[in-house]
Amino acid sequence: MCSAGKLFAVEQWFLRCRYHEPERFDCRHWPIGIAIEKGFHSLAEVLLRNGVPADARALQRACEYRNRDIVELMFQYGATVDSVEFDYIVSIGDGEIIRRFIDLGADLITRYPIASGLIRQTRLFLGIYKSNIEKHPELQFQAAMALRHFCDEGSLRGVSLMMWLGANPRTKVPRNADDEDEEYWDTAMQAAAWKGQLDIIRRLKPDSALDDVNQLLKQSLYCHSMELVRYWVSLGADRNHMDAEGDTMHRQITTSLGWSLESRSWWSLGGDSVTAKQFAKEWFSEDGVKWPLKKSDVRSLRKVLSRLSFMEAYDFVKLLLAKQAMSVDELGVVLDCPKLKEHLKERHAALAGLIPKLQKWVKSAERKRQLEQQRVVASRRHDRQTAPPRRSYSETFVTWNDPRYVRRLSDE
Protein backbone atom coordinates (compact mmCIF):
# COMPACT_ATOMS: atom_id res chain seq x y z
CA MET A 1 0.00 0.00 0.00
CA CYS A 2 2.82 2.41 0.83
CA SER A 3 4.59 1.61 -2.44
CA ALA A 4 1.36 2.24 -4.34
CA GLY A 5 0.82 5.54 -2.51
CA LYS A 6 -2.57 4.52 -1.08
CA LEU A 7 -2.68 6.95 1.79
CA PHE A 8 -6.26 6.32 2.92
CA ALA A 9 -5.78 2.56 2.72
CA VAL A 10 -2.79 2.90 5.02
CA GLU A 11 -4.89 4.87 7.50
CA GLN A 12 -7.60 2.18 7.45
CA TRP A 13 -4.97 -0.52 7.95
CA PHE A 14 -3.76 1.13 11.13
CA LEU A 15 -7.32 1.07 12.47
CA ARG A 16 -7.44 -2.72 12.08
CA CYS A 17 -3.84 -3.85 12.63
CA ARG A 18 -0.88 -3.30 14.85
CA TYR A 19 2.43 -2.17 13.36
CA HIS A 20 5.73 -4.04 13.91
CA GLU A 21 9.08 -2.94 12.57
CA PRO A 22 10.25 -5.16 9.68
CA GLU A 23 13.37 -7.27 9.91
CA ARG A 24 14.70 -5.70 6.72
CA PHE A 25 15.11 -1.94 6.42
CA ASP A 26 15.50 -1.57 2.69
CA CYS A 27 12.94 0.70 1.10
CA ARG A 28 10.92 -2.17 -0.41
CA HIS A 29 10.00 -3.58 3.02
CA TRP A 30 10.24 -0.54 5.28
CA PRO A 31 7.16 1.74 5.22
CA ILE A 32 8.85 4.91 6.50
CA GLY A 33 11.75 4.24 4.12
CA ILE A 34 9.28 4.10 1.21
CA ALA A 35 7.75 7.43 2.26
CA ILE A 36 11.20 9.04 2.54
CA GLU A 37 12.35 7.69 -0.82
CA LYS A 38 9.21 8.96 -2.55
CA GLY A 39 9.26 12.25 -0.66
CA PHE A 40 5.67 11.55 0.39
CA HIS A 41 5.30 13.90 3.35
CA SER A 42 1.65 13.02 4.13
CA LEU A 43 2.39 9.29 4.13
CA ALA A 44 5.38 9.84 6.45
CA GLU A 45 3.17 11.85 8.83
CA VAL A 46 0.48 9.13 8.84
CA LEU A 47 3.07 6.48 9.62
CA LEU A 48 4.68 8.51 12.40
CA ARG A 49 1.31 9.43 13.91
CA ASN A 50 0.34 5.77 14.08
CA GLY A 51 3.40 4.52 15.92
CA VAL A 52 6.14 4.09 13.34
CA PRO A 53 9.24 5.18 15.32
CA ALA A 54 11.20 8.26 14.33
CA ASP A 55 14.43 6.52 15.27
CA ALA A 56 18.04 7.01 14.18
CA ARG A 57 17.64 4.90 11.02
CA ALA A 58 14.63 6.90 9.83
CA LEU A 59 16.25 10.25 10.64
CA GLN A 60 19.50 9.26 8.92
CA ARG A 61 17.63 8.09 5.81
CA ALA A 62 15.66 11.35 5.64
CA CYS A 63 18.91 13.32 5.89
CA GLU A 64 20.54 11.20 3.18
CA TYR A 65 17.66 12.04 0.81
CA ARG A 66 17.98 15.69 1.90
CA ASN A 67 14.24 15.87 2.52
CA ARG A 68 14.13 18.81 4.89
CA ASP A 69 10.38 18.69 5.54
CA ILE A 70 10.47 15.02 6.55
CA VAL A 71 13.57 15.69 8.71
CA GLU A 72 11.59 18.40 10.53
CA LEU A 73 8.66 15.99 10.82
CA MET A 74 10.99 13.44 12.44
CA PHE A 75 12.01 15.97 15.08
CA GLN A 76 8.36 16.74 15.77
CA TYR A 77 7.70 13.05 16.44
CA GLY A 78 10.57 12.48 18.83
CA ALA A 79 13.77 12.17 16.81
CA THR A 80 16.84 13.59 18.57
CA VAL A 81 19.95 15.16 17.07
CA ASP A 82 22.18 12.86 19.14
CA SER A 83 20.77 9.77 17.45
CA VAL A 84 22.87 10.44 14.32
CA GLU A 85 26.52 11.48 14.54
CA PHE A 86 26.83 15.09 13.49
CA ASP A 87 30.00 14.47 11.45
CA TYR A 88 27.90 12.15 9.26
CA ILE A 89 25.31 14.90 8.80
CA VAL A 90 28.14 17.25 7.81
CA SER A 91 29.34 14.75 5.19
CA ILE A 92 25.86 14.84 3.57
CA GLY A 93 26.40 18.55 2.96
CA ASP A 94 22.92 20.05 3.14
CA GLY A 95 23.25 23.51 4.67
CA GLU A 96 19.70 23.85 6.03
CA ILE A 97 19.76 20.41 7.65
CA ILE A 98 23.17 21.12 9.18
CA ARG A 99 21.98 24.44 10.61
CA ARG A 100 18.83 22.80 11.96
CA PHE A 101 20.92 20.18 13.77
CA ILE A 102 23.10 22.92 15.26
CA ASP A 103 20.03 24.90 16.40
CA LEU A 104 18.73 21.79 18.17
CA GLY A 105 22.03 21.33 20.03
CA ALA A 106 24.11 18.96 17.91
CA ASP A 107 27.51 17.99 19.30
CA LEU A 108 30.03 20.24 17.53
CA ILE A 109 33.10 18.75 19.21
CA THR A 110 33.08 14.94 18.98
CA ARG A 111 34.97 13.67 15.90
CA TYR A 112 35.66 17.29 14.83
CA PRO A 113 32.65 17.86 12.53
CA ILE A 114 33.33 21.58 11.99
CA ALA A 115 36.86 20.80 10.77
CA SER A 116 35.41 18.32 8.32
CA GLY A 117 32.90 20.92 7.13
CA LEU A 118 35.55 23.62 6.70
CA ILE A 119 37.52 21.21 4.53
CA ARG A 120 34.63 19.87 2.42
CA GLN A 121 32.30 22.88 2.20
CA THR A 122 34.44 25.83 3.13
CA ARG A 123 32.05 28.57 2.07
CA LEU A 124 29.08 27.13 3.98
CA PHE A 125 31.02 26.47 7.17
CA LEU A 126 32.72 29.84 7.27
CA GLY A 127 29.37 31.32 8.30
CA ILE A 128 28.59 28.45 10.66
CA TYR A 129 31.99 28.85 12.33
CA LYS A 130 31.65 32.62 12.72
CA SER A 131 28.15 32.19 14.19
CA ASN A 132 29.25 29.68 16.82
CA ILE A 133 32.83 30.63 17.75
CA GLU A 134 31.79 32.92 20.63
CA LYS A 135 29.57 30.23 22.12
CA HIS A 136 32.12 27.46 21.47
CA PRO A 137 35.70 28.88 21.63
CA GLU A 138 37.04 25.32 21.38
CA LEU A 139 36.14 25.40 17.67
CA GLN A 140 39.47 27.19 17.12
CA PHE A 141 41.12 23.78 17.47
CA GLN A 142 39.08 22.48 14.52
CA ALA A 143 39.94 25.56 12.47
CA ALA A 144 43.61 24.73 13.08
CA MET A 145 42.89 21.17 11.85
CA ALA A 146 41.43 22.55 8.64
CA LEU A 147 44.43 24.86 8.29
CA ARG A 148 46.80 21.92 8.61
CA HIS A 149 44.80 20.03 5.97
CA PHE A 150 45.08 22.88 3.48
CA CYS A 151 48.82 23.14 4.18
CA ASP A 152 49.18 19.41 3.48
CA GLU A 153 47.23 19.81 0.25
CA GLY A 154 49.09 22.95 -0.82
CA SER A 155 45.92 25.06 -1.11
CA LEU A 156 46.81 28.73 -0.73
CA ARG A 157 43.12 29.71 -0.95
CA GLY A 158 42.16 27.38 1.89
CA VAL A 159 45.10 28.54 4.00
CA SER A 160 44.17 32.20 3.46
CA LEU A 161 40.55 31.57 4.47
CA MET A 162 41.56 29.71 7.65
CA MET A 163 44.00 32.47 8.58
CA TRP A 164 41.16 34.96 8.04
CA LEU A 165 39.08 32.91 10.48
CA GLY A 166 41.86 33.25 13.05
CA ALA A 167 43.20 29.69 12.97
CA ASN A 168 46.48 29.30 14.86
CA PRO A 169 49.24 27.75 12.69
CA ARG A 170 51.22 26.83 15.83
CA THR A 171 48.57 24.60 17.43
CA LYS A 172 49.38 20.89 17.33
CA VAL A 173 46.41 19.08 15.82
CA PRO A 174 45.62 15.62 14.39
CA ARG A 175 45.33 15.05 10.67
CA ASN A 176 41.77 13.69 11.03
CA ALA A 177 39.32 12.37 13.60
CA ASP A 178 40.92 8.91 13.59
CA ASP A 179 44.43 10.23 14.33
CA GLU A 180 44.16 10.14 18.13
CA ASP A 181 47.81 9.50 19.07
CA GLU A 182 49.20 12.90 20.02
CA GLU A 183 52.71 11.74 19.16
CA TYR A 184 51.80 12.14 15.48
CA TRP A 185 50.09 15.51 15.76
CA ASP A 186 51.69 18.41 13.90
CA THR A 187 51.17 22.13 13.54
CA ALA A 188 50.10 23.75 10.30
CA MET A 189 53.50 25.46 10.20
CA GLN A 190 55.26 22.08 10.29
CA ALA A 191 52.94 20.69 7.62
CA ALA A 192 53.73 23.67 5.39
CA ALA A 193 57.46 23.16 5.94
CA TRP A 194 57.14 19.50 4.89
CA LYS A 195 55.14 20.52 1.81
CA GLY A 196 57.67 23.21 0.94
CA GLN A 197 55.42 25.79 -0.76
CA LEU A 198 57.02 29.13 0.00
CA ASP A 199 53.87 31.18 -0.71
CA ILE A 200 51.93 29.19 1.91
CA ILE A 201 54.75 29.46 4.45
CA ARG A 202 54.86 33.22 4.00
CA ARG A 203 51.08 33.39 4.44
CA LEU A 204 51.46 31.68 7.83
CA LYS A 205 53.88 34.46 8.90
CA PRO A 206 56.57 32.49 10.75
CA ASP A 207 58.42 34.33 13.50
CA SER A 208 61.80 33.31 14.91
CA ALA A 209 60.64 34.45 18.35
CA LEU A 210 57.69 32.03 18.28
CA ASP A 211 58.84 29.24 15.96
CA ASP A 212 61.82 26.89 15.96
CA VAL A 213 63.17 28.01 12.59
CA ASN A 214 66.03 25.49 12.74
CA GLN A 215 63.55 22.62 13.02
CA LEU A 216 61.40 24.09 10.26
CA LEU A 217 64.46 24.40 8.01
CA LYS A 218 65.34 20.77 8.70
CA GLN A 219 61.82 19.65 7.77
CA SER A 220 62.00 21.68 4.54
CA LEU A 221 65.20 20.02 3.31
CA TYR A 222 63.36 17.12 1.68
CA CYS A 223 61.78 19.60 -0.74
CA HIS A 224 65.23 20.32 -2.27
CA SER A 225 64.55 24.04 -2.59
CA MET A 226 67.42 26.46 -1.99
CA GLU A 227 64.96 29.36 -2.19
CA LEU A 228 63.17 27.93 0.83
CA VAL A 229 66.48 27.37 2.63
CA ARG A 230 67.51 30.98 2.11
CA TYR A 231 64.11 32.12 3.42
CA TRP A 232 64.55 30.23 6.70
CA VAL A 233 68.14 31.47 6.98
CA SER A 234 66.87 35.03 6.57
CA LEU A 235 64.65 34.42 9.61
CA GLY A 236 67.63 33.32 11.68
CA ALA A 237 67.98 29.60 10.97
CA ASP A 238 71.50 28.15 11.30
CA ARG A 239 72.54 25.68 8.59
CA ASN A 240 75.18 24.27 10.94
CA HIS A 241 72.70 23.66 13.76
CA MET A 242 73.10 20.40 15.68
CA ASP A 243 70.09 19.00 17.51
CA ALA A 244 70.00 17.38 20.93
CA GLU A 245 70.83 13.98 19.43
CA GLY A 246 73.86 15.34 17.59
CA ASP A 247 72.36 15.16 14.10
CA THR A 248 73.10 17.89 11.57
CA MET A 249 71.29 19.07 8.46
CA HIS A 250 74.38 18.17 6.43
CA ARG A 251 73.92 14.53 7.32
CA GLN A 252 70.22 14.69 6.46
CA ILE A 253 71.06 16.03 3.00
CA THR A 254 73.64 13.31 2.30
CA THR A 255 71.27 10.64 3.64
CA SER A 256 68.50 11.88 1.35
CA LEU A 257 70.95 11.90 -1.56
CA GLY A 258 71.99 8.35 -0.74
CA TRP A 259 68.37 7.19 -0.78
CA SER A 260 67.73 8.84 -4.13
CA LEU A 261 70.80 7.12 -5.62
CA GLU A 262 69.78 3.68 -4.33
CA SER A 263 68.12 1.88 -7.25
CA ARG A 264 66.35 -0.59 -4.95
CA SER A 265 64.86 2.12 -2.73
CA TRP A 266 61.26 3.33 -3.12
CA TRP A 267 62.67 6.84 -2.65
CA SER A 268 64.38 6.64 -6.06
CA LEU A 269 61.23 5.63 -7.96
CA GLY A 270 60.24 9.26 -8.46
CA GLY A 271 63.40 10.08 -10.42
CA ASP A 272 64.59 12.41 -7.67
CA SER A 273 68.34 11.74 -7.90
CA VAL A 274 69.14 14.60 -10.29
CA THR A 275 67.33 17.13 -8.09
CA ALA A 276 68.91 15.70 -4.94
CA LYS A 277 72.43 15.94 -6.43
CA GLN A 278 71.87 19.51 -7.55
CA PHE A 279 70.48 20.49 -4.15
CA ALA A 280 73.41 18.91 -2.30
CA LYS A 281 75.84 20.75 -4.57
CA GLU A 282 74.09 24.09 -3.94
CA TRP A 283 73.86 23.45 -0.20
CA PHE A 284 77.59 22.80 0.25
CA SER A 285 78.47 25.64 -2.15
CA GLU A 286 77.11 28.19 0.33
CA ASP A 287 79.69 30.03 2.42
CA GLY A 288 79.93 29.20 6.09
CA VAL A 289 78.97 25.51 5.94
CA LYS A 290 80.84 23.58 8.65
CA TRP A 291 80.35 19.86 9.19
CA PRO A 292 81.99 18.38 12.30
CA LEU A 293 82.07 14.70 11.39
CA LYS A 294 80.87 11.93 13.68
CA LYS A 295 81.26 8.22 13.12
CA SER A 296 77.74 7.90 11.73
CA ASP A 297 78.42 10.85 9.39
CA VAL A 298 81.45 9.05 7.97
CA ARG A 299 79.32 6.03 7.06
CA SER A 300 76.65 8.21 5.46
CA LEU A 301 79.16 10.18 3.39
CA ARG A 302 80.99 7.03 2.26
CA LYS A 303 77.73 5.53 1.07
CA VAL A 304 76.94 8.61 -1.00
CA LEU A 305 80.41 8.79 -2.58
CA SER A 306 80.31 5.11 -3.49
CA ARG A 307 76.95 5.55 -5.28
CA LEU A 308 78.04 8.58 -7.27
CA SER A 309 80.14 8.10 -10.38
CA PHE A 310 83.87 8.40 -9.75
CA MET A 311 84.00 11.85 -11.41
CA GLU A 312 80.95 13.10 -9.47
CA ALA A 313 82.50 11.84 -6.24
CA TYR A 314 85.81 13.53 -7.10
CA ASP A 315 84.05 16.84 -7.86
CA PHE A 316 82.10 16.59 -4.60
CA VAL A 317 85.31 16.04 -2.63
CA LYS A 318 86.87 19.08 -4.29
CA LEU A 319 83.78 21.14 -3.41
CA LEU A 320 83.97 20.15 0.27
CA LEU A 321 87.65 21.10 0.34
CA ALA A 322 87.16 24.37 -1.52
CA LYS A 323 84.38 25.54 0.82
CA GLN A 324 86.22 24.16 3.89
CA ALA A 325 83.09 22.28 4.97
CA MET A 326 85.43 19.86 6.77
CA SER A 327 89.15 19.54 7.33
CA VAL A 328 91.54 17.73 5.00
CA ASP A 329 92.25 15.13 7.68
CA GLU A 330 88.54 14.41 8.22
CA LEU A 331 87.98 13.99 4.51
CA GLY A 332 90.98 11.68 4.37
CA VAL A 333 89.38 9.50 7.04
CA VAL A 334 86.18 9.35 4.96
CA LEU A 335 87.95 8.32 1.74
CA ASP A 336 90.44 5.92 3.29
CA CYS A 337 88.51 2.66 2.86
CA PRO A 338 88.93 -0.22 0.37
CA LYS A 339 85.59 0.35 -1.37
CA LEU A 340 86.25 4.01 -2.15
CA LYS A 341 89.85 3.26 -3.03
CA GLU A 342 88.66 0.89 -5.74
CA HIS A 343 85.82 3.22 -6.81
CA LEU A 344 88.15 6.21 -7.21
CA LYS A 345 91.11 4.36 -8.73
CA GLU A 346 90.97 6.59 -11.84
CA ARG A 347 91.60 9.68 -9.68
CA HIS A 348 94.18 8.36 -7.20
CA ALA A 349 96.93 10.75 -8.25
CA ALA A 350 94.63 13.81 -8.21
CA LEU A 351 93.21 12.93 -4.78
CA ALA A 352 96.67 12.26 -3.39
CA GLY A 353 97.65 15.78 -4.43
CA LEU A 354 94.67 17.21 -2.49
CA ILE A 355 94.73 14.99 0.60
CA PRO A 356 98.10 13.95 2.07
CA LYS A 357 96.58 10.94 3.82
CA LEU A 358 95.81 9.42 0.41
CA GLN A 359 99.38 9.62 -0.91
CA LYS A 360 99.80 6.03 0.18
CA TRP A 361 97.31 5.11 -2.56
CA VAL A 362 99.81 6.32 -5.18
CA LYS A 363 102.77 4.73 -3.40
CA SER A 364 100.99 1.41 -3.07
CA ALA A 365 99.97 1.56 -6.72
CA GLU A 366 103.55 2.28 -7.76
CA ARG A 367 104.85 -0.51 -5.55
CA LYS A 368 102.26 -2.87 -7.01
CA ARG A 369 103.32 -1.88 -10.52
CA GLN A 370 106.99 -2.51 -9.71
CA LEU A 371 106.23 -5.90 -8.18
CA GLU A 372 104.23 -6.85 -11.24
CA GLN A 373 107.12 -5.81 -13.50
CA GLN A 374 109.59 -7.84 -11.41
CA ARG A 375 107.28 -10.84 -11.56
CA VAL A 376 107.12 -10.64 -15.37
CA VAL A 377 110.93 -10.40 -15.66
CA ALA A 378 111.44 -13.33 -13.32
CA SER A 379 108.90 -15.39 -15.22
CA ARG A 380 110.67 -14.76 -18.51
CA ARG A 381 114.07 -15.65 -16.98
CA HIS A 382 112.66 -18.88 -15.65
CA ASP A 383 111.17 -19.76 -19.01
CA ARG A 384 114.55 -19.29 -20.67
CA GLN A 385 116.34 -21.44 -18.13
CA THR A 386 113.94 -24.36 -18.26
CA ALA A 387 113.37 -24.41 -22.02
CA PRO A 388 114.99 -27.33 -24.04
CA PRO A 389 118.09 -26.49 -26.13
CA ARG A 390 117.25 -25.06 -29.48
CA ARG A 391 118.29 -26.96 -32.59
CA SER A 392 120.07 -25.32 -35.48
CA TYR A 393 118.24 -24.42 -38.60
CA SER A 394 119.98 -27.10 -40.58
CA GLU A 395 118.98 -29.73 -38.04
CA THR A 396 115.45 -28.66 -38.01
CA PHE A 397 114.72 -28.72 -41.74
CA VAL A 398 115.70 -31.29 -44.39
CA THR A 399 116.61 -29.89 -47.77
CA TRP A 400 115.80 -31.69 -51.04
CA ASN A 401 119.40 -32.36 -51.97
CA ASP A 402 120.90 -33.15 -48.58
CA PRO A 403 123.30 -36.08 -49.28
CA ARG A 404 122.64 -37.53 -45.86
CA TYR A 405 119.01 -38.22 -46.63
CA VAL A 406 118.68 -38.32 -50.44
CA ARG A 407 119.38 -41.66 -52.16
CA ARG A 408 121.16 -41.20 -55.40
CA LEU A 409 120.63 -43.57 -58.34
CA SER A 410 124.37 -43.60 -58.96
CA ASP A 411 124.86 -45.22 -55.59
CA GLU A 412 122.96 -48.21 -56.79
Q: What is the pLDDT of residue 269?
A: 43
Q: What is the pLDDT of residue 360?
A: 87
Q: What's the pLDDT band for 270 if we cut at 50, 70, 90?
A: very low
Q: What is the share, in percent, of the chain residues with pLDDT greater than 70?
A: 89
Q: What is the share, in percent, of the chain residues with pLDDT greater than 90?
A: 68
pLDDT at position 41 over 70: yes
More confidently predicted of 231 and 28? 231
Q: What angle (nearest 5°) sits at the alpha carbon of residue 326, between those of residues 215 and 258?
A: 60
pLDDT at position 352 over 80: yes
Q: What is the pLDDT of residue 153?
A: 96
In Å, how far from its chain's centre is CA 27? Answer: 45
Q: What's the pLDDT band for 386 if we cut at 50, 70, 90?
A: confident
Q: What is the pLDDT of residue 320?
A: 95
Q: What is the pLDDT of residue 278?
A: 95
Among 17, 20, 19, 1, residue whose Cα is nearest residue 9: 1
Q: What residue ranges define each of the domains in the chain, with the CATH number in brackets? A: 1-84 (1.25.40.20), 239-384 (no CATH)
Q: What's the pLDDT band for 218 if we cut at 50, 70, 90?
A: very high
Angle formed by the axes of helices 213-220 and 188-195, nearest 10°: 40
pLDDT at position 409 over 70: no
Q: What is the pLDDT of residue 267?
A: 47
Q: What is the pLDDT of residues 358-374, one digit of tens each?
A: 988 888 766 677 667 77
Q: What's the pLDDT band for 15 if we cut at 50, 70, 90?
A: confident
More confidently predicted of 30 and 305? 305
pLDDT at position 251 over 60: yes
Q: What is the pLDDT of residues 46-56, one digit of tens each?
A: 999 998 999 99
pLDDT at position 22 over 90: no
More confidently predicted of 179 and 303? 303
pLDDT at position 106 over 60: yes
Three-state secondary structure readout of the chain: CCCCCCHHHHHHHHHHCCCCCCCCCCCCCCHHHHHHHHCCHHHHHHHHHCCCCCCHHHHHHHHHCCCHHHHHHHHHCCCCHHHCCHHHHHHHCCHHHHHHHHHCCCCCCCCCHHHHHHHHCHHHHHHHHHHHCCCCCCHHHHHHHHHHHHHHHCCHHHHHHHHHHCCCCCCCECCCCCCCCHHHCECHHHHHHHHCCHHHHHHHCCCCCCCCHHHHHHHHHHHCCHHHHHHHHHCCCCCCCECCCCCEHHHHHHHHHHHHHCCCCHHHHHCCHHHHHHHHHHHHHCCCCCCCCCHHHHHHHHHHHHHCCHHHHHHHHHHHHHCCCCCHHHHHHHHCCHHHHHHCHHHHHHHHHHCHHHHHHHHHHHHHHHHHHHHHHHHHHHHHHHCCCCCCHHHHCCCCCCCCCCCCHHHC
Q: How large is the average pLDDT for residues 201-218?
A: 96
pLDDT at position 26 over 70: no
Q: What is the pLDDT of residue 13?
A: 87
Q: What is the pLDDT of residue 107?
A: 95
Q: What is the pLDDT of residues 298-313, one digit of tens each?
A: 999 999 999 999 999 9
pLDDT at position 388 over 60: yes
Q: What is the pLDDT of residue 30?
A: 87
Q: What's the pLDDT band for 268 if we cut at 50, 70, 90?
A: very low
Least confident range of 133-142, 233-242, 376-385: 376-385
Q: How large is the average pLDDT for residues 229-255?
A: 94
Q: What is the pLDDT of residue 373?
A: 73
Q: What is the pLDDT of residue 411?
A: 52
Output the average pLDDT for the chain. Answer: 88
